[in-house]
């Protein structure tokens, strides 16, 4: 048994931390966010030199063949630095879709493109009226006079604004699922770009009889098969979200601990008050628990028992949306007025955590999911 | 024991309802309902309308132009205004400095300031907190040195709510460095147009400009602007804080917010496609929230009922602040859960962006959900943080 990071993983962690120290201080981050987007792309290109884009994928497709711990270790550092690359959505999600759904030829072609070229894809995972259930599809494909059309809505497509193409999953009347590649610059559908509270961008799409070519169908498969595959992918993605959140909480804990050690009121450090000591200890326990649950989920992935995997992932997400969220609220509280001032970094971590705690299902969704799998 | 309103109370309730339906435009109501920013002009004209019907200063004595309403009528008014989505009254004038002036002000101060507060001609802000003095307010450092018949004031006030609109600021300043820190503090009123005052915005998590830092550099303030006596400002500040603590419970606002949340849960679907309101897990959380709110409402009513008998609220009122603020936060959190993915966009940033090519899946009720959640983090911090309120309760009420 070994639950600590190996040498390679420590190297990933340390080099990432060094990269962020040099390139993404809070001030540098603000500057990048208020610029026109070029600074952001420059930073992403620079980060690719460290091999981050290849890490999650097999060597035979141009990747580095990292295992789950390698990848989650890297993503945790993103959380701790509020990385502005939407890595999970522009690399990991489309990459895993390609890996699980595409035939071998397409796999090599597309993976190579997103890892090594500067081609960006975004996958449309959310629709109105399905809440968090990624298995549901209301977006329709239909054929008329041998032409293909799309009708439906996709929302909260993250990293879509900078994607060359989006991948739209949709279903036909015979319960076949199509993954359709759509040129993001097309004018034949409505799209609306907006800001998310963590300063990232999302796009909503509405296809109202949008015509596409047969060539644009990347994959066609039956719905049951689709559900099975998409479920594994989103378990992996949900773990990535929890790992990023773990980095966020670790950093919030550190910042808050530092704050209560320096801020003085009533002639003492506020950390000298026992209520505050107890709350910091509680926070410390929570972040340790969160890391332990994260380990359990990583282990469940290598075990190949889908039930255990699903349960473990859901426990991680429930923890994030309940206990970790409360800890984050406490961090703001202990900063007093400073906690609500946008010029302090603590609030930006808080917003990131708020976003992550909802993404891919809040605690209600995951309680239910756990229950369904755990039926005796 | 009953909470039945008298015939007179019910007539009053009707009067308030009539007033609201006549004076509140749909546009303004919608803005309040979805948490959009209300402009200074909109607030002032609403307050003026209230004043015209003598509904603006329900707690003020008649001799000062108030309505001197009974506790039950004040309660009714508060509820009706909140439930009808009317703009929140800015408390700094009418509920803070007003009562202070009536209690401690000189006749001259009263006759100059009170009518202007009533008519919303003066916008007030509260200059207590400083960068180094938040919870430990008595340690404040802003200095006022008497020169002739003027004080020369130097220092920094911070977190000052809506100071960017203010004509006047009531301020705590240090006039003596001797004795206990509380004993060297004075309460003074400063004209915001005076030379040497700079107001810098502080942007909060939701992206809004609601609070400020106020720099005071050799600001000259006439000696007669002091309230009560020099070095007796702490007494005045404590008097005012007790007023702030009860009004901060926001029962009416929370009842209104829960009502809205229920409406949302009657439209939104859960993960299985049923109405969210029928989702057991969600429903239980909503009920728990309503339970706590009901307890808060009746705690406030019990305090009001004592007040009706002439017993002023004591430090117990801290419990209203603690639970009231927590409930406000929990409502916004549950609303986030209710609207799901619609709720995590940054609406303030988006409202400035170009929406020409936009498709609106987002229902109106989801506007500003995240902004409200983020904004409400303040409620457990300001007005004396909840930790400080607990210290007060344990010392003053529990005797620990
Ligand atoms: C949105 C907003 C609006 C505001 N508007 C105004 C305004 O208009 N005018 C004005 O004067 N002020 C205003 N304030 C300031 C507010 O009153 C202070 O923020 C508050 O008193 C806390 O002070 P602080 O921010 O310095 O935090 P600190 O006092 O530094 O406290 C930091 C943390 O330590 C805790 N703490 C401190 N002392 C103790 C103790 N003895 N025991 C246990 N815990 C303790 C606090 O509860 C808090 O969690 C506003 C604040 C906010 C957030």
When comparing pLDDT for B243 and B316, which is higher?
A: B316
List all residues 6 or more positions away from B45 whose beta carbon is below 8 Å from its beta carbon. none
Q: Which residues of A touch B360 (CB under 8 A)?
A: 192
* Closest by Cβ to B361, choosing from A128, A341, A351: A128
Nearest to A332 among B207, B350, B377 (CB): B377
**Nearest C-alpha in A relative to B345:** A196
Query: A242, A317 in Cβ contact below 8 A?
Result: yes
Give yes or no for a contact between B72 and B12, defined as CB atoms under 8 angstroms apart. no
User: Are the beta carbons of B93 and B120 closer than 8 angstroms?
Assistant: yes
Distance (Å, whole) CA B267 – CA B274: 10
pTM of the model: 0.97
CATH number for region A122-212: 2.40.110.10
A376 pLDDT above the threshold of 80: no
CA-closest candidate to residue B361, choices B337, B333, B340 = B340
pLDDT higher than threshold 80 for residue B266: yes
B361 three-class SS = coil
Place of tokens 């879709």: A97
Interface test with A, best of B127, B130, B360, B361 (most A CBs within 10 A): B361
Q: Which domains does chain B have, with CATH numbers?
A: 7-89 (no CATH), 124-233 (2.40.110.10), 249-348+356-396 (1.20.140.10)
pLDDT per residue as tens digits for the range B121-140? 999 999 999 999 999 999 99
> What average pLDDT is seen over chain A?
96
Domain with CATH 1.20.140.10 in chain A: 225-375
**CB of A333 closer than 6 A to ligand 1?**
yes
- The residue whose two tokens read 């300031």 is B113
**Where do the DSSP E strands lie in A213-332?**
217-222, 264-265, 268-269
Closest listed residue to residue A363, CA positions, set A269, A246, A238: A238
Domain with CATH 1.10.540.10 in chain A: 7-118
Domain with CATH 2.40.110.10 in chain A: 122-212
Across all residues in chain B, what is the average pLDDT?
93
Between chains, do B136 and A350 touch, taking CB under 8 Å as contact?
Answer: no
Mean pLDDT of B66-80: 90
- Asked whether the predicted pLDDT for residue A122 surpasses 60, the reply is yes
> Which residues in chain B have their CB less than 8 angstroms from residue A205's CB?
359
User: What mean pLDDT comes out for the span B87-110?
Assistant: 96
- Per-residue burial over B26-54, b if 16 or more Cβ lie within 10 Å, else e, is eebeebbebbbeeeeebbbebbebbbeeb
B381/B388 Cα distance (integer angstroms) = 9
The predicted pLDDT at position B356 comes to: 42
Which mutation among B91, B95, B129 tests ligand 1's pocket best, with the greatest number of atoms within 8 A of CB? Answer: B129
DSSP-assigned beta bridge partners for residue B161: B211
- Give the integer Cα–Cα distance in Å for A245 and A327: 12
Query: Three-class SS of residue B387?
Result: helix
Residue A295 exposed, middle or buried by CB count within 10 Å (0-12, 13-18, 19+): middle
Evaluate whether B90 touches B128 at the Cβ level (below 8 Å): no
pLDDT, tens digit, 9 for 90 and up, residues B192-213: 999 999 999 999 999 999 999 9
Structure token digits, residue B61: 């004595």
Q: Which residues contact B2 (CB under 8 A, 6 or more apart)?
A: none
Contacts of B74 (CB under 8 A, 6+ apart): B58, B59, B304
CATH assignment, A225-375 = 1.20.140.10
CATH of segment(s) A7-118: 1.10.540.10
Q: Test B357 with A332 for CB contact under 8 angstroms.
A: no
Q: Which residue has the tokens 């007033």?
A: B19
**Helix axes B7-23 and B40-52, enclosed angle (nearest 10):** 140
Beta carbons within 8 Å of B81's beta carbon, 6+ residues apart: B16, B20, B89, B252
- Centre of ligand 1 to C-alpha B245, Å, is 14
pLDDT-based confidence at residue A373 (cuts at 50, 70, 90): very high
Q: How far is CA B348 from CA A202, B32, B35, B208, B333, in A?
A: 15, 15, 11, 7, 18
pLDDT at B358: 45
Answer for the pair A331, A256: CB distance below 8 angstroms, yes or no: yes
DSSP 8-state secondary structure symbol assigned to residue B132: T
Nearest-10 crossing angle of helices B71-83, B251-265: 30
Return the pLDDT at B246. Answer: 62
pLDDT of residue B357: 41
Q: Whose CA is nearest to atom 43 of ligand 1?
A: B387
The minimal CB distance from B359 to the residues A192, A196, A351 is found for: A192
Q: What is the mean pLDDT of residues B221-250?
A: 88
């Amino acid at each position: 048994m070994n639950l600590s990071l190996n040498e390679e993983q420590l190297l990933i962690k340390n080099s990432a931390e060094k990269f962020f120290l040099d390139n993404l201080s809070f001030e540098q981050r603000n500057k990048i966010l208020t610029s026109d987007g070029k600074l952001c792309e420059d930073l992403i290109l620079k980060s690719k030199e460290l091999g981050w884009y290849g890490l999650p994928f097999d060597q035979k497709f141009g990747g580095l063949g990292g295992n789950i711990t390698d990848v989650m270790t890297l993503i945790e550092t993103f959380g701790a630095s509020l990385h502005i690359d939407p890595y999970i959505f522009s690399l990991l999600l489309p990459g895993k879709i390609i890996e699980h759904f595409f035939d071998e030829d397409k796999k090599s072609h597309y993976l190579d493109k997103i890892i090594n070229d500067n081609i960006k894809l975004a996958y449309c995972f959310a629709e109105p009226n399905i809440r968090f259930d990624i298995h549901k599809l209301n977006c329709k494909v239909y054929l008329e006079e041998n032409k293909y059309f799309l009708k439906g809505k996709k929302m909260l497509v993250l990293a879509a604004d900078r994607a060359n193409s989006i991948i739209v999953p949709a279903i036909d009347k015979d319960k076949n699922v199509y993954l359709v590649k759509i040129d993001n610059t097309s004018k034949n559908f409505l799209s609306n770009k907006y800001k998310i509270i963590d300063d990232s961008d999302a796009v909503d799409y509405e296809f109202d009889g949008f015509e596409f070519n047969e060539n644009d169908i990347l994959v066609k498969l039956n719905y049951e098969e689709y559900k099975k595959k998409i479920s594994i992918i989103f378990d992996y993605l949900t773990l990535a979200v929890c790992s990023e959140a773990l980095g966020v909480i670790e950093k919030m804990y550190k910042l808050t601990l530092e704050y209560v050690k320096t801020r003085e009121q009533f002639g003492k450090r506020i950390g000298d008050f026992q209520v505050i000591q107890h709350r910091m200890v509680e926070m410390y326990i929570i972040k340790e628990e969160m890391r332990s649950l994260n380990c359990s989920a990583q282990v469940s992935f290598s075990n190949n028992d889908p039930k255990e995997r699903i349960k473990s992932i859901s426990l991680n997400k429930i923890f994030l949306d309940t206990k970790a969220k409360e800890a984050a609220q406490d961090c703001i509280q202990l900063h007093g007025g400073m906690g609500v001032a946008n010029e302090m970094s603590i609030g930006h971590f808080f917003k990131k955590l708020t976003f992550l705690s909802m993404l891919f299902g809040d605690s209600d969704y995951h309680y239910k999911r756990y229950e369904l799998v755990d039926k005796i | 024991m009953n909470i039945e309103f008298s015939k007179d109370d019910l007539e009053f309730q009707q009067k308030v309802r009539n007033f609201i339906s006549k004076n509140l435009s749909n546009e303004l109501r919608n803005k309040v309902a979805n948490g959009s920013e209300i402009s200074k002009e909109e607030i002032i004209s609403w307050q003026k309308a209230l004043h015209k019907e003598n509904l603006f200063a329900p707690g003020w004595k008649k001799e000062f132009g108030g309505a001197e309403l009974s506790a039950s009528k004040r309660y009714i008014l508060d509820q009706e205004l909140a439930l009808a989505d009317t703009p929140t009254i800015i408390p700094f004038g009418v509920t803070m400095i007003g009562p202070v002036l009536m209690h401690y002000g000189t006749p001259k101060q009263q006759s100059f300031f009170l009518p202007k507060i009533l008519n919303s001609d003066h916008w007030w802000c509260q200059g207590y907190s400083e960068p180094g003095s938040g919870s430990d307010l008595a340690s404040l450092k802003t200095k006022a040195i008497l020169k002739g018949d003027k004080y020369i004031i130097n220092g920094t006030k911070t977190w000052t709510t809506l100071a960017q609109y203010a004509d006047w600021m009531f301020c705590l300043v240090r006039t003596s460095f001797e004795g206990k820190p509380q004993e060297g503090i004075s309460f003074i009123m400063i004209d915001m147009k005076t030379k040497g005052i700079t107001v810098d915005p502080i942007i909060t998590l939701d992206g809004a400009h609601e609070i400020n830092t106020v720099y005071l550099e050799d600001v000259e303030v006439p000696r007669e602007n002091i309230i009560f006596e020099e070095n007796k400002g702490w007494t005045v500040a404590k008097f005012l804080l007790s007023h702030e603590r009860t009004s901060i419970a926001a029962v009416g606002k929370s009842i209104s917010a829960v009502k809205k949340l229920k409406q949302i849960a009657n439209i939104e679907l859960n993960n299985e496609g049923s109405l969210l309101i029928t989702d057991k897990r969600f429903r239980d959380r909503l009920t728990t929230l309503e339970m706590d709110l009901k307890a808060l409402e009746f705690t406030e009513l019990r305090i009001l009922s004592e007040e009706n008998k002439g017993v002023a609220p004591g430090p117990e009122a801290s419990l209203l602040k603690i639970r009231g603020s927590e409930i406000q936060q929990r409502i916004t959190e549950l609303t986030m859960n209710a609207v799901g993915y619609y709720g995590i966009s940054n609406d303030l940033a988006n409202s400035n962006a170009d929406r020409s090519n936009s498709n609106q899946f987002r229902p109106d009720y989801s506007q500003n959900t995240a902004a409200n959640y983020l904004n409400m983090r303040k409620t457990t911090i300001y007005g004396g943080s909840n930790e400080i309120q607990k210290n007060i309760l344990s010392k003053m009420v529990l005797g620990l």
